[in-house]
Amino acid sequence: PRPILLTRHGESRDNVRGRIGGDTALSEAGDLYAKKLANFVEKRLKSERTASIWTSTLQRTILTASPIVGFPKIQWRALDEINAGVCDGMTYEEIKKNMPEEYESRKKDKLRYRYPRGESYLDVIQRLEPVIIELERQRAPVVVISHQAVLRALYAYFADRPLKEIPHIEVPLHTIIEIQMGVTGVQEKRYKLMD
């Protein structure tokens, strides 16, 4: 068995303000998580000769990976957060107030809803295919530091959860989801490193 560790980036400045998308740096709490994650990964993967750290191309995942030393890091555009198009940088409140029809259509069918000039969950699931193929091919552990929507899709793939559940799966901040791929199937553990 070899572990795949899935985690969101540490809390970002946009998370604090409730803004979606964007490319902000980490909050103080987010910085602290990055340090705790590095500790965890160094202990957990100490005995592994090879392992790699995969991030998106967005600052908040790269900064979350930065305290981890001793493992190669790879940036994937396919791990970037769902593109909220014209809604990028807005709060859910602002979308509800300024674009009530968009807000309602997303609520009705969050899986298929595509942000104007952005993506849907189905789009995200599709662009993750090469990442999943590469994750399956790896023999060594991988730490994936990505974003809420993307991790919902990745997690659903490994945990064999139905498509329609994907946009609603709980993937909290500051929590590591460890997936063990063994001959007998997939096992899961969650480590909440901080609130």
Nearer to ligand F6P, 56 or 178 (CB): 56
Q: Which of 33, 51, 43, 44 is nearest to 192 (CA)?
A: 33
Binding mask 13-52 for ligand F6P (x = CB under 6 A): --x----xx-------------------------------
With CB under 6 A as the contact rule, the residue among 34, 79, 149, 166 that binds ligand F6P is: 149
DSSP 119: -
Specify whether 168 is catalytic: no
In angstroms, give the least distance from the CB of 82 to ligand F6P.
5
CB atoms within 10 A of CB 140: 13
Using DSSP's 3-state secondary structure scheme, residue 85 falls into: helix
β-pairing, 2-8 with 175-182? antiparallel
> Considering the rule CB under 6 A, would residue 179 count as an interface residue with ligand F6P?
no
Distance CA 94, CA 83 (A): 17
Whether 8 is a known active-site residue: answer yes
- Residues in region 73-112 near ligand F6P by CB under 6 A: 81-82, 84
Shortest approach of ligand F6P to residue 110 CB, angstroms?
6
- Residue ranges of the alpha helices (H) in the chain? 13-17, 28-44, 59-65, 92-98, 100-108, 121-127, 129-137, 148-159
Residue selected from 167, 176, 177, 178 as contacting ligand F6P according to rule CB under 6 A = 167
Under rule CB under 6 A, how many of the chain's residues touch ligand F6P?
A: 10
Tell me which amino acid residue 19 is. R
Interaction site with ligand F6P (CB under 6 A): 15, 20-21, 81-82, 84, 147-149, 167
By annotation, the residues acting in catalysis are: 8-9, 15, 60, 81, 147
